[in-house]
Amino acid sequence: MDKKFRVLVTGGCGFIGSHIAEKMADAGYDVVIFDDLSSGTMENITHLSGRVKFFRGDVRNKKELRGALSGAGVVFHEAAFVSVPESEKDPSRCFDINLGGTISLLEEAERAGVEKVIFASSCAVYGNNEDLPLTENAGVSPGSPYAVSKSVAEQLMKEYCVRRPISITALRYFNVYGPRQNPESKYAAVVSKFIQDGGKKRKLSVEGDGSQTRDFIFVGDVAEANMRAAQASLKGFHAINVCSGKEASVMDLAKNMSLLIGNVSIEQAPPRANDIARSWGSGEKALDLLGFSPKTSLIEGLKITVESYLERKLR
């Protein structure tokens, strides 16, 4: 990708989007952020002040998108309805934002002459699939409106590329954690929930016996995968896992967090209904096509995350 191109980050005031914006600004790209601030905050990008442009708008609104897309060569599409449990309660809003918003973005991106869109997809598209480690060829079996929206958005994008001069890479993120993940949310991901509870000296609550495993990937590595996807010369549509390639149990995660935070104990809560027993991904395709492999170990990443949470709290 030529550095004279502008890059647009939808959802750039959110957790992952703000790290992508920072990474691209650090690499010398002209960065524009587009966000409606529904779950993201300006605080997440205050450290980028003067280095990125900000447009407040909704991805479903083509007119608002048009202004922000002017001159953009690459779009990172992170803006989304992100909560799985909320998507069960309000599927129409989830589809409106994740499908309606994505279609509006594609149409306006094409009109603006954008060459490539990097889409924030999810390992949720695989559902409860025991074909481990999950490769991109594993069958999709989305188990929630949120997961359906990501899977259908991928299919739309694949079809969209066929007769158009636009390339799209869908990055299927596994469980992303790191600084700026919102621990206040009722649906906070497990790492930020543990930090929030541990920081307040509450017990870390592990559902069931904690033997369930997930693939945790540090947000800095996710930003690196995005930059590589933008710079790669891939044409057409590709779906690529962004994962650590390792499984970690929720109990091990809780034990590590308890050591890092200090002085917090672990309690067992009732198991979650239909919880997936084991899940982790294969990062081979990301290595082949993007030369990407994550650099941050779980312990290193957790340490950075805990430190950043404690620093922010002291401000």
Whether 15 contacts 39, CB under 8 Å: no
Region from 15-23, 45-53, 228-236, 306-314 binding ligand NAD, contact rule CB under 6 A: 15-23
Calpha distance 43→173 (Å, rounded): 24
Q: Please, what is the minimum distance in Å from the beta carbon of residue 170 to ligand NAD?
A: 10
Instruction: Please name which of 220, 205, 312, 287 lies closest in space to residue 253, comparing C-alpha atoms.
Output: 205
Contacting residue, 29, 30, 101, 161, with ligand NAD by CB under 6 A:
101
- Output 37 or 165, the one with its CB closest to ligand NAD: 37
* For ligand NAD, the closer CB: 28 or 142: 142
- With a CB cutoff of 8 Å and minimum separation 6, the contacts of 115 are 1, 5, 73, 74, 165, 166, 167
The footprint of ligand NAD on this chain (CB under 6 A) covers a number of residues equal to: 28
Q: How far is the CB of 287 from ligand NAD (least distance, A)?
A: 19
Task: Tell whether residue 296 is a contact of ligand NAD (CB under 6 A).
Answer: no
What SS3 state is found at 279?
A: coil
Catalytic residues: 146
| Min CB(126)–ligand NAD separation in Å | 11
16 touching ligand NAD, by CB under 6 A: yes
Binding pattern to ligand NAD, positions 248-287, x when CB under 6 A? ----------------------------------------
Site string for ligand NAD, 37-76 (x = CB under 6 A): xxxx-----------------xxx----------------
Q: What is the DSSP letter of 134?
A: B
In 3D space, the residue among 52, 53, 56 whose CA is nearest the CA of residue 22 turns out to be 52
- 160 and 146 in contact (C-beta within 8 Å)? no
Residue 197 CB, shortest distance to ligand NAD, in Å, is 18
211 to 250, contacts with ligand NAD by CB under 6 A? none
Q: Are 101 and 58 in contact (CB under 8 A)?
A: yes
Q: Write down the least CB distance from residue 54 to ligand NAD, Å.
A: 11
Separation of first and last alpha carbons in the chain = 38
Instruction: Pick between residue 7 and residue 59 the one whose CB is nearest to ligand NAD.
Output: 59
Question: Could you give phi then psi for residue 171, rounded to 5 degrees?
Answer: -95, 115
Q: In Å, how far are 239, 278, 287, 299 from 191, measured between CA atoms?
A: 26, 17, 26, 12
Do 250 and 205 touch, CB atoms closer than 8 A? Answer: no
Find the part of the chain contacting ligand NAD (CB under 6 A) among 7-15, 103-111, 125-133, 305-313. Answer: 7-15
Please state the closest distance from residue 58 (CB atom) to ligand NAD, in A.
Answer: 4
DSSP-based three-state secondary structure for 49: coil
Q: Work out the angle at residue 81's Cα, subtended by the Cα atoms of residues 298 and 308, and round it to the nearest 5 degrees.
A: 35
- Interacting residues with ligand NAD between 149 and 188 (CB under 6 A): 173, 175-176
Among 9, 25, 72, 79, binds ligand NAD (CB under 6 A): 79
Neighbours of 300 (CB within 10 A): 12
- Residue 11 near ligand NAD by CB under 6 A: yes
Give the pairing of strands 266-269 and 204-207: parallel
Residues that bind ligand NAD (CB under 6 A): 10-11, 13-17, 35-40, 58-60, 78-80, 82, 97, 101, 120, 122, 173, 175-176, 189
